[in-house]
Structure 1
Amino acid sequence: MFRMHRPSFDLLHETLVRDYGLRAACNMCSEEALGIFLWTVDSPQSVSEVQNRFKRFTETVHRKFNHVFKCLVLFAADIIRPIDPQIRNVQERLQDPKFFPHFNGCIGVINGTHIPVTVPAKNMINHFGRHGYSSQNVMGVCDFNMRYISAVAGWPGSAHDTRVFK
């Protein structure tokens, strides 16, 4: 249901509890909170579907979803970063004479995408982009070893890619 094997779930849960503040509440264990988050973002599911599946109130679903999300944002800040923040080493492939003059100083590759979202009607105009649906503009940067070194999410779909980049 969570698009990961049980050992991966357990390792993610253990890391979030130990290092990023994921904790149980009086009526819900931290495993269930993580499960609610993963199940919600997997498909994505509506709040009413989550309520029916986990037999929880709307307020509880919102509160625990936000709690897990905040823990994952802290986790992401630690893992989505360059291994060498000063980018002192030039990638071996770029030292080849056929690439070097064109890609001198290049540290990776950047791309953006629009993720469909459901937003309240009052925010719809901000999220309605050129693709014809409401979305969030997400930008990612990878190094030449295909590791994310930067990610920016949360911009409304109407935001131009250049604005997100700047």
Structure 2
Amino acid sequence: MKVIIDRITTNQIKELMTISRETFTDTFGSANDPQNLTQYLDSAYSALQLRSELNNADSTFWSITVDGVWAGYLKLNIGQAQSENFGDAALEIERIYVRRRFKRQGLGTKLYQLALNQAEQLGKTRIILGVWEHNEPAQKFYQRLGFHQIGAHTFQLGTDAQTDYIMEKKLTN
């Protein structure tokens, strides 16, 4: 199994749209109203929205491929790109998305390790992320990595206001 992690560019918008919609739907689709889901997907994962995010200097996107097939991706934010103002000392993991058929192969951990390396290179002292209150597998994954809940915020999925837990891991230098 050959695993490669690379920066995503605006030339890969179509692939990014596809994997974003697929992984979000696989993870959250069955637990949400189809109309709200479609509304969210059309807004959050449109070519225009993703291009804007890719062009933001405070965000980076990384793909992970297995034997040449996109298996998932990571989105990191600092500064003004953060979903909330977590401060200059924080790196935000906004997305670790892994396709269903590639789960339980350690790819999420590899993407997390990249985030950790990026945080260290940028001199960040903490990593922040949000995870849906009903996504227990993700919560347990992040807890195993040393994250703990420090708060919550609203995540708007169409007309449905949902709760994301804010989790943090402090880094030691």
> Normalized against structure 2, the TM-score is what?
0.27
The structure that is helix-richer by fraction is 1
Determine which structure has greater relative contact order: mean sequence separation of CA pairs < 8 Å that are 6+ residues apart, divided by chain length. 2
